[in-house]
Amino acid sequence: MKKLPKIIFLLSFFYISAQQNDLDFREDQFFFSFSYPFFSNNPSDLIQNKFSYSYSLGFVRDFPINVKRTIALGIGLGFEKSVVYNNYKIYEDENEFVSTIIIDDYNQNFLSLSSIKIPFEFRWRSADEINHSFWRIYSGIGLKIPTKIKAMYSANGTEEISFLPKNSPVFDFNIAVGYNTWNIYFSTDLKSFTNEFNKNSNYDIKFTKIGLVFYVL
């Protein structure tokens, strides 16, 4: 979270520059999403529990590509964090990271992932210079650069915290459909975030998220 003020400063500069450099209609927007993450391809013995959550915030610069300015490309910068409660324990053992499915009783176990996110979008909307309440479909690819991956396990009054290696960037597919401020949001990882440091695992962990995303001009 120490990097969050720097991200907010960059987003503000990006937004002010966008407004000053183009007086024509465009949908430069701040966004905030809140969603429920779940395993995309989990085997039967991998179980989620408690309330997992994911949120993201950022800014997208809009580049219209048709005369009516209803079709555009978008590129942005943001921050994303996901916390997923489950029975998949990842921990460090003799300088190696190993994983196992928890069988015994435990208090809680979760993975926490923080990333810088760079969205690339293809955008359609029914808006114009006058009508700012409109339908939209935004879809594209997001590049997620991990900044922190934390695994936490607690049982019988003891707590184990492991900070996992930051693996290479992960791409995800995103689509948002909605009207005005309210939009249904869907996202799914295109690559596992665990396979680089956990090569011997049988679990190829990818997450899918469903929730809401809000756009603010």
DSSP 14-63: HHHHHHHH--S----EEEEEEEEEEESS--TT--B-S--EEEEEEEEEEE
Please say if the pLDDT value at position 185 is more than 90: yes
**Predicted pLDDT at 18:** 45
Better pLDDT: 122 or 41? 122
pLDDT recorded at residue 1: 56
Q: Which pLDDT score, from 0 to 100, does residue 4 have?
A: 60
d(CA 217, CA 209): 24
Smallest CA-to-CA distance from 90 within 41, 152, 170, 167 is with 152
> Is pLDDT larger for residue 22 or for residue 63?
63
Cβ(210)–Cβ(35) below 8 Å: yes
How sure is the predictor about 203, in pLDDT bands with cuts at 50, 70 and 90? low
pLDDT averaged over every residue in the chain: 82
- Report, as an integer, the average pLDDT of 26-43: 86
- Mean pLDDT on 28-35: 93
Residue 75 clears pLDDT 90, i.e. is over it: yes
Please state which of the ranges 141-145, 158-162, 182-186 shows the lowest mean pLDDT: 158-162
Tokens of 21: 């450099």
More confident residue, 95 or 88: 88
Q: Given a cut of 60, is residue 206 above it in pLDDT?
A: yes
Query: Which range among 1-10, 29-38, 42-51, 93-102 has the greatest average pLDDT?
Result: 29-38
